[in-house]
Amino acid sequence: MDKMTVRDMEVNGKRILVRVDFNVPLDEETRAITDDSRIQATLPTIKYLIERGAKTILCSHLGRPEGKVVEELQMTPVAQRLSQLLGNEVQTTVGCIGPDVEKAVEKLSGGDVLLLENLRFHPDEEGDSNAFAQVLAQLADLYVNDAFGVSHRSHASIVSITNYLPAVAGLLVEKELNTLGGILENPAHPFTELIGGAKVSDKIGLLENTMSKVDCLLIGGGMVATFLKAKSYETGLSLIEVDKLDTAIGLMEKATRNGVRLLLPVDVLVANEISAETKAKSVFIENIPPDLRIVDIGPQTIENFSRELRRCQTVFWNGPMGIYEIPQFAEGTKSMARLLASLDATTIIGGGSTAEVVTEMKLADKMSFVSTGGGASLRFLGGKKLPGVEVLLNKKS
């Protein structure tokens, strides 16, 4: 990675503004955090700063309050959980800028941690406002981006803030870029990508940019329907991206030209509607009924994919194989997660819903790396720049 990190800066006694991604899921009734993996992921950076006597000021968004104060999206539960993980009290503020926040920062001693209120309570955060970023920057001496999951966003606390403070990467962002960069630069072979999710359009950049790197592509999820339709199969009531049929054909042709094995399901589960009460049945792709829809990959496909994955030294997985939220449509996804957890290989999970799956199944620690950014990882592996990374100081400078 060619960007400077927090390790390159003197932080003792300095006010360090750290952008983190604490957008954690909360229980609707109790407001208890149901998955703290994003908080856990930032602990190395926070502990690094505490141990070196920095005055750490954390800032994050939570949910989508759309520029308004929403009581249910206040950062208090996050501060409480972070306090437990650190073994020290993490103070909070009423807002994210203003006189009260400035007073709270002034009271900080070396080793203290302060968490600002939800950045998205302020309407100028998502608008990448220079004025808002400038006021936020006045709280600190140095800016650290440790929020990889939102580094593909051009928001005030991600991009404009760097106009007013020296800006470097946190340890999580460094790890994300080095790990994902390793896939693009020097993956161990055989290298397979397991790609699912609902839409081909979400994965085009990734598939095209990594086609020359991989040995095999395994395609599952809702996007399978578009690939099958492109090959003239009946897909029933499944969602088809009609404007991406030519794209799917092009990707399959490119795979052939590059000597890449592209495997589609040979059988799928189909159902008449998407609900917990619906029963699904397995059919071969030649026999998909016109009045049913694809909801998961089938048992023979699970075996085919598993056989291919067992050969690999590197696997990147992004996107569920079926409608994971409904138990009877989740076996394809669960089977892939269990298989990857058993491999003696580098297994990288591409954030988003895929990360949620392995975390929920308590398999995250069995994977080599679980990215904290779904959209950010897809954009990065798709060969596009991340605005929040581009603005950080270069090592050579």
332 is catalytic: no
Please name the residue that has the structure tokens 């954009």.
Answer: 379
- Is there a catalytic annotation at residue 38? yes
Q: Which 3-state string (H, E, C) describes the chain?
A: CCECEHHHCCCCCCEEEEECCCCCCECCCCCCECCCHHHHHHHHHHHHHHHCCCEEEEECCCCCCCCCCCHHHCCHHHHHHHHHHHCCCCEECCCCCCHHHHHHHHCCCCCCEEECCCHHHCCCCCCCCHHHHHHHHCCCCEEEECCHHHCCCCCCCCCHHHHCCCEEECHHHHHHHHHHHHHHHCCCCCEEEEECCCCCCCCHHHHHHHCCCCCEEEECCCCHHHHHHHCCCCCCCCCCCHHHHHHHHHHHHHHHHCCCEEECCCEEEEECCCCCCCCCEEEEHHHCCCCCEEEEECHHHHHHHHHHHCCCCEEEEECCCCCCCCHHHCHHHHHHHHHHHHCCCEEEECCHHHHHHHHHCCCHHHCCEECCCHHHHHHHHCCCCCHHHHCCCECCC
Catalytic residue among 53, 111, 182, 199: 199
Please tell me the distance from the alpha carbon of residue 356 to that of residue 58, in angstroms, as a whole number: 24
Determine which one of 149, 222, 350, 352 is catalytic: 352
What is the C-alpha to C-alpha distance for residues 24 and 26, in angstroms, rounded to an integer? 6
CA-to-CA distance for 119 and 125, rounded, in angstroms? 6
95, 111, 375, 382: the active-site residue: 375
Amino acid occupying residue 261: R
Catalytic residue among 3, 15, 19, 38: 38
Q: Which residues contact 127 (CB under 8 A, 6 or more apart)?
A: 155, 156
How far, in Å, CA of 321 to CA of 219, rounded? 8
Is 199 one of the catalytic residues?
A: yes
**Is 379 a residue of the active site?**
no
- The catalytic residues are 38, 199, 352, 375
